[in-house]
Amino acid sequence: MKIFKFRLGPEFKQKIKMPYDCRIRSAGWQGDDICVWAECDERNEQYDYIFYVVPTGVEVSDFDLEGMRFLATAIRDNLVLHVYCIDNEF
């Protein structure tokens, strides 16, 4: 198992391909990108993980956060983003 970085896009809801059974540990800015870091076995089959990136001030009820796990708040100048992921139970 190794720690890998995965870049998130600018969309509110997005799917990121990651190895099955990853343990998502953190999220934050690296350079100009919002990234997540996860412990993964790269030999596992790829799986779609679902993330939400929600800016401060956006109505949270506009998103279906049921079953989502809060990962982190990423702050860069005046931009504050809150990252959630589905808390997968494998």
Confidence band, pLDDT 50/70/90 cuts, at residue 90: very low
Q: What is the mean pLDDT of the chain?
A: 89
Tally of domains in the chain? 1
Note down the domain range covering 38: 2-86
Whole-angstrom CA distances from 42 to 17, 19, 45 are 11, 6, 8
- Reported as a single tens digit per residue, the pLDDT across 33-51 is 999 999 999 999 999 999 9
What residues form DSSP beta bridges with 76?
A: 79
Confidence band, pLDDT 50/70/90 cuts, at residue 87: low
Phi-psi region of 71 (alpha: psi -120 to 50; beta: other; left: phi over 0): alpha
What's the confidence (pLDDT) of residue 41?
A: 95
